[in-house]
A and B are shown apart, each in its own frame.
Chain A
Amino acid sequence: MSITIHVPKPETPQRLMQAAVQAWGPQHTSLAGSRVDDLVQNGKLVMLCSFCDPKFNPRRNGYVSWSRTWLPVGQCDGCKNHGTGLKAWIPESNYDAVAVHEPSRGPRWRRMFARRS
């Protein structure tokens, strides 16, 4: 039985690029950030997984949360992976039209001192 010895090769920019191109998973023609920017520019709903969501700044883009309680199932607009528990963001202008109707949680001080029974 032969033994294969893997010798680590230096991570040159060329090798990193090659690895990115050959990486497993769906191939994309644009970067994740650019795809999300396109959606924002067209006033579309944006769905992001828990990994991509922290990279999106909704306030800077004029976006608000679609729902506090419901987490959509679908394809992440950042990494294009399918999954559950995505977070959906909508333009503020669409809030009255599509944001899920949820009762107000009240001010923070009231929540802090809410009686638990």
Chain B
Amino acid sequence: MAKFGYTLSGGGPVMKRLKISASFATAGIYAIAGATTTPGVKPCTTTAVTDSAGLTQDTATYTTTKATSMVEGVVTVIINPDLVAQFKMANSATAGTALVATTASAAQTNGLDVTITTGDPAPNSPEMIDGTIVCISGANAGLSRIITASAATKATFTVPFPNSIASGDKFILVPWQPLGAVAKVVNLTSNFAEARQDIAVATGAALRPVEFSFDTSGASNAQRNSFLYVVNDDHVLNTAT
């Protein structure tokens, strides 16, 4: 689930209880404002957080049944527009799937590109130009570069890795760039709780990446325990849109 990471201002999270117009089955997802005549906020979708109210902190059940014992559906939301949310990264529509690593099949002494191993995801499908490549094993472990060109078997970057790339080195390619102009949206898993790696750059909801947190203590850890920090780019309190 998406968690509160921090706020850009450094201030504390402002929590409000908002009325809902649809049930929130899981906590830690974005709530978005409803359309005209809808009685409250509703869950976001996998590709849209338009007019978001913020990040929910509990679940809620929507009801329109009159009863003296009825409980009005409200959900607790952190409404800071500068909220930085922490999303775990996943590799499919199902939350909890490990990130897919790409293994270099050839040595590259200039450190400027990675040739994938047969069976790895093609860097150009889904398209990863403007995304980020992170080395998770080998001499460059823990370092990352922005992908500037792609082909079916190769990802290329303009700024080389400091060490030569060896055959067998592992990398993770993600379709995001911190505060980038193009790779600035995130596609969510079907439960809206995690960020999908297997989607082309510039496809998804208006959640602007701010930074990554890769667990580079081991390739396996990096695939299972890495996070993306995002700011909502279409908040209802954003005066620009």
A-side residues, CB < 8 A to B, are 38, 42-45, 47, 66-67, 70-74, 84-85, 88, 90-91, 94, 96-101
Determine how close the nearest CB of chain A comes to the CB of B219; give it in whole angstroms.
22
Q: Are A43 and B76 in contact (CB under 8 A)?
A: no
Determine how close the nearest CB of chain A comes to the CB of B6; give it in whole angstroms.
8
Residue of B15, B28, B58, B74 with highest tally of chain A CB at under 10 A: B58
Show 20 A/B contacts (Cβ-Cβ < 8 Å), sorted by A: A38-B71, A42-B71, A43-B58, A43-B59, A44-B58, A45-B76, A47-B15, A70-B4, A73-B12, A74-B14, A74-B15, A74-B16, A90-B58, A94-B57, A94-B59, A97-B28, A98-B1, A98-B57, A100-B5, A101-B5
B-side residues, CB < 8 A to A, are 1, 3-6, 11-16, 26-28, 56-59, 71, 74, 76, 78, 86, 193
Q: Are A71 and B12 in contact (CB under 8 A)?
A: yes
Q: Are B13 and A94 in contact (CB under 8 A)?
A: no
Q: Are B86 and A72 in contact (CB under 8 A)?
A: no
Q: Are B16 and A98 in contact (CB under 8 A)?
A: no
Residues of B within 8 A of A88 (CB): 15, 57
Q: Are B58 and A98 in contact (CB under 8 A)?
A: yes
A86 and chain B: residue at smallest CB distance: B15
Q: Are B13 and A73 in contact (CB under 8 A)?
A: yes
Asked whether A96 and B4 contact (CB < 8 A) given A73-B15, A74-B15, A74-B16, the answer is no
Q: Are B1 and A96 in contact (CB under 8 A)?
A: yes
Asked whether A72 and B58 contact (CB < 8 A) given A98-B4, A101-B3, the answer is no
Task: Provide the bound-state CA to CA distance between A45 and B15, in Å.
Answer: 10
Asked whether A98 and B27 contact (CB < 8 A) given A45-B76, A66-B57, the answer is yes
Asked whether A72 and B28 contact (CB < 8 A) given A42-B71, A43-B58, A96-B1, the answer is no
